[in-house]
Amino acid sequence: MLCLALSHRWLAVLLIVGYSINVSAAFAQTDTTARIEGNGKKKKQSGSHTSEPRPLFATDEPLSFTLSSQMQRVVRDRTKPAPKAAVVRHPARLMYAADTAVTLPVDLVVRGNFRRDAANCLFPPLYLDFPKKVVKGTVFAKQNKLKLVTHCRDDEYVVREYLVYKLYNQLTDLSFKARLAQVTYLDSAGKRKPETHWGILLEDEDDVSKRNHVTVYKNRLKAAYTDTLNMATLAVFEYMIGNTDWSVVYRHNIKMVVDSTRPRPLAIPYDFDHSGLVNARYAKPAEQLNIETVRDRLYRGPAYPMAVLNQVFARFRALKPAFYALIQQDKRLSSNYVKETVYYLDGFYKTIDNPEKARAAFLSDLDRSVQIRGMNN
Q: What is the dihedral of CA 320, 326, 329, 334, to 10 degrees?
A: -110
Given pLDDT bands bounded at 50, 70 and 90, which one contains residue 53? confident
Ranges 148-152, 199-203, 319-323, 361-365: which has the least confidence: 361-365
Is residue 103 classed as helix, strand or coil in its secondary structure? strand
Tens-digit pLDDT profile for residues 322-346? 999 999 999 999 999 999 999 999 9
Is residue 28 classed as helix, strand or coil in its secondary structure? helix
Residue type, 97: A
Contact (Cβ atoms closer than 8 angstroms) between residue 372 and residue 288: yes
Alpha carbon distance, N-terminus to C-terminus of the chain: 23
Mean pLDDT, residues 170-188: 98
Tens-digit pLDDT profile for residues 64-80? 999 999 999 999 999 98
Mean pLDDT, residues 361-377: 60
Determine the pLDDT at residue 221.
Answer: 94
Q: Which residues contact 142 (CB under 8 A, 6 or more apart)?
A: 54, 55, 135
Is a pLDDT exceeding 90 seen at residue 257? yes
Mean pLDDT, residues 314-325: 98
**What is the Cα–Cα distance from 149 to 178, expressed in whole angstroms?**
10
Residue type, 133: K
Task: Select from 231, 230, 239 the least CA-distant residue to 348.
Answer: 239
Given pLDDT bands bounded at 50, 70 and 90, which one contains residue 260? very high
Mean pLDDT, residues 219-233: 96
Tens-digit pLDDT profile for residues 21-48? 444 444 443 433 332 223 333 333 334 4
Mean pLDDT, residues 124-144: 95
Determine the pLDDT at residue 49.
Answer: 55
**What is the Cα–Cα distance from 72 to 80, expressed in whole angstroms?**
17
Ranges 73-77, 83-87, 284-288: which has the least confidence: 83-87
Q: Counting Cβ atoms within 10 Å, is residue 278 exposed (0-12), middle (13-18) or buried (19+)? A: buried
Strand 195-202 versus strand 215-216 pairing type? unpaired
Task: Select from 346, 327, 302 the least CA-distant residue to 170.
Answer: 327
Determine the pLDDT at residue 43.
Answer: 38
Q: Which residues contact 200 (CB under 8 A, 6 or more apart)?
A: 148, 149, 158, 161, 162, 165, 178, 179, 180, 181
Helices first, then strands: H and E counts in the chain: 9, 10
Given pLDDT bands bounded at 50, 70 and 90, which one contains residue 5? very low
Q: How many C-beta atoms surround the C-beta of residue 159 within 10 A?
A: 19
DSSP 237-298: HHHHHT----BTTTTBSEEEEE-TTSSS-EEEE---TTSTTT--TT----GGG--SSTTS--
Task: Select from 263, 281, 275, 248 the least CA-distant residue to 348.
Answer: 275
Given pLDDT bands bounded at 50, 70 and 90, which one contains residue 81? confident
How far CA 174 is from CA of 207, 215, 266, in Å, comes to 11, 12, 9
